Amino acid sequence: MPARAGYDPATGIWRLVEKRMDIPGSTWLPNTGLGALEAPLQSYFAMQLRIVSDGDVGRPLIFYCLADCWMSWNAVKRAASLGYSGLYWFSEGTDGWSEAGRPLVEAAPPPLELIK
């Protein structure tokens, strides 16, 4: 399911339709698990993976969404195609995290760095 977010093509800032709650310490990368990505979103995904992994393609990275949402699985496959190897999929997502009594925090995605 799409994140109900889109980025402003002029600024790269995400326009959010609703509040998103995430696992503390994680990074939200909206819509990067869609079937096909436009070039700016593909570049955004690659750049954000370099940031969260500190450039280490073997560093463990955990991907999640909501329960029964395959966008995070797609993002794992996309990260693998970029050479990342320490990839894990938390299929229960924020639903499973919350049901286990663990806290969620309000998320704000990093903006896209747009090529001018």
In this predicted structure, which of 12-16, 60-64, 65-69, 89-93 has the lowest mean pLDDT? 12-16
Contact between residue 3 and residue 20 where contact means Cβ atoms under 8 Å apart: yes
Which domains are seen in the chain, by residue range?
18-106 (3.40.250.10)
Over residues 58-72, the pLDDT tens digits come to 999 999 999 988 999
Q: What DSSP assignment string belongs to 72-112?
A: HHHHHHHHHHTT---EEEETTHHHHHHHTT---EE--PPPP
pTM, two decimal places: 0.88
Nearest C-alpha neighbor of 54 from the set 22, 84, 16, 21: 84
pLDDT at 84 (0 to 100): 98
Contact between residue 64 and residue 41 where contact means Cβ atoms under 8 Å apart: no
pLDDT at 1 (0 to 100): 40
* Tokens (6 digits) for 67: 């329960």
pLDDT at 17 (0 to 100): 81
What's the rounded mean pLDDT across residues 78-107? 97
